[in-house]
Structure 1
Amino acid sequence: MSASVGQRVSIIGGGGNVGAATAFALIVKGVSAEVLLVDVSDKAAEGQALDISDASFSLPGTCRKGSYKEAGQSDVIIITAGARQQPNEPRSSLIDRNYKVIQSIMDSLKPIKATAKILVVSNPVDVLTDIAQKTSGLPRHQVIGSGTYLDSGRLRNELSSITGVSPRSIHAYMLGEHGDNQFTGWSAANIAGRPLLDHSRMKGVDLDSLYEKIQRKAYVIIDAKGSTFYGIGMCAATLTQALLSNTSQVFPVTNYVEQYGCYMSWPAAIGYDGVEQSLDVKLDDEERKKLQTAIDAIKGACSGY
């Protein structure tokens, strides 16, 4: 299902690598929307918009530089602005620096369209999504974060190389916190309804080593080229497409989970209203302990703001 003509997506931080990658992904995915790039550097936003618009001539979407006031009246507002993560820097250390950035952005966007959906990509995403919801004044179901969607994609790619099954047919999630306390929900992972760990090619696989490889991949990329942007850009564009097109697809995104009383990275169905429903995941006792550790870390960080 394609998006309706006249829809608008604004990317705050659109002059940067992640913002531009997200805009480009929206255009090449054929999303029928006007994409606005907003940045503290007008020149950077204009340059990215002009470049991306050159790719849109045969596609339904358009891209241009926009203002904060225009962005506040958009259907989807994507937040990619924030301090860049440094090599070997844990995401949690970004909180103090990015808190003020989010607060300033929300003030600049107001008045925010009542039906707008906010998608936070900046890190640490679980905490910043909570801050964005509180400072925007929008209902919780309309404010989400990219969560562990990219991490789960990395996991599925690795599992695909092991099992020989397409990553689209592997149902496995990284859960809890997008950061040092995330964990793999092995108990719920499956292929065609059968437990993933029962697959013949999973026998003898070192799950701890596999987890470490997924966990460290972002740091490897950052060390090699300074930042990650292609993968997360595509993830943000896919989530935006789900919001605009009402797909009701399930993604492991940062959303407010009532039973745990906080924003966290957890599977949720995404559509026009944002989070249509947050879904439960079957976990074993050890995974439940890891989940609680992640929840405590998120709540502890959020309590200071």
Structure 2
Amino acid sequence: MSSKITIIGAGSVGSTIAYTLSQRDIASQIVLIDINKEKVDGEVMDIEQGTCFRDPVSIIGGEYEDARESDIVIITSGVARKPGQSRIELTQTNVNILKQITPEIVKAAPNALYIIVSNPVDIMTYVFTKISGLPENQIIGSGTLLDTARLRCGLSEHFGVAQKNIHAYVFGEHGDSSFIPWTGAYISGAHIDEYYQTMKSLGADIEELDREAMTEYVHKSGGKIIANKGATFYAISAAVCKLCDTLVASSDSIATVSSMMHGEYGIDDVCLSTLTLVGPNGIRGKVPMRMSKEEIEKLRASAKVLKDVIAQIEL
């Protein structure tokens, strides 16, 4: 693998992504960039000293110019929400950081595929799309990849079946207005309701799925992890590295990533997550999924939440 991946931001998420990439065969070159040079040097040394158990990989702490010829750039920069700080205040702070980063990194790596991870990720993806000047296919927000992973984890535990057999998704924003389109939730080829009935007929000791409880599990997981350990970074790192794997693969895959909407489901000029065809050329387009009228309205409501925030920030 000869891919070069640059990560902007050496906080918990950025450094964990760098470490996870260093243990996989996705990249042969990893560049970590952060304003805190000492933190970068420490992370690089720590990660590099654990790579003797794999094929050689180059890991450096660099400047923006070191991102030249990157295949993928991952942006994780931003600050966490402080006590008493409103969501709008946090959003504007992180937007301002992104506005400083964008011209520097785009100048160095204009042909890279960009993965936006910084929160609020849908707003940040929208802002980057508007100010970067890059084609939209090169811009991919991590979106509800993590939410979808949390959903599949919860469904796997409930039904006692491998996560790889579960095809269910979280749509909308990466936030409280996200929702699960249960119309398209399947375990292998069977809808989850059919699967439940099949398992009951086979004598399985299994309870009927509480959809509201499962939605709450997805919504509250992040907050619970933060309350218990201070931050979330392992699962999002795994999700982003899987996305990197998709971007260097030989064919496209379908994922719930955030990208600009252009009239799909009656939604325009906002970034959020639906089924998206993504691969070595970035985003190829949206994949329509059959949804009920109620589910489409939930998606539109999620879009409105994001648009209301966008209307209050300074681009």
TM-score by length of 1: 0.92
Contact 2:260-2:271 at 8 Å conserved across structures:
yes
Seq. identity, % = 30
CA shift, 1:90, in A, is 7.8
Q: Distance in 2 between matches of 1:30 and 1:92?
A: 39
Task: Report the counterpart of residue 161 of structure 1 in structure 2.
Answer: 157
What SS is found at the alignment partner of 1:184?
coil
Q: Which amino acid in the other structure matches residue 195 of structure 1?
A: H
What does 1:1-305 correspond to in 2, within 5 Å? Answer: 3=1, 5=2, 7-13=3-9, 15-57=10-52, 58-71=54-67, 73-86=69-82, 94-200=90-196, 204-259=208-263, 260-261=267-268, 262-303=270-311, 304=313, 305=315
**Residue identity matched to 2:306:** I
Moved more, 239-248 or 49-58: 239-248
Deviation at 1:198, TM superposition (A): 2.2
Distance 1:186 1:231, change over 3 A: same
- CA drift at 1:221: 0.8
Aligned length: 300
Once the two structures are superposed, residues 183-220 of structure 1 have per-residue CA deviations (whole angstroms, 9 ceiling, x without a partner) of 00101011122211222267632211111111001001
The change in CA–CA distance for 1:174 and 1:90 in structure 2 (over 3 A counts) is: farther
- Tell me, yes or no, if the aligned pair for 2:276 and 2:283 is still in contact at 8 Å: yes
In structure 2, do the counterparts of structure 1 residues 92 and 167 end up closer, same or farther at CA, with 3 Å as the change threshold?
Answer: farther
Q: Contact between 1:91 and 1:123, CA under 8 Å: does it hold in 2?
A: no
Aligned residue type for 2:259: N
The residue identity in structure 1 corresponding to 2:101 is: I
Contact 1:31–1:60 (8 Å) recurs in 2:
no
3-state SS, counterpart of residue 174 of structure 1: coil
Structure 1 gap ranges (5+): none
Return the letter of the residue paired with 1:198.
E
Contact 2:68 2:108 in 1 (8 A): yes
Change (3 A) 1:88 1:240: farther
Report the CA distance between 1:60 and its aligned residue. 4.4
| 1:55 aligned counterpart, secondary structure | coil
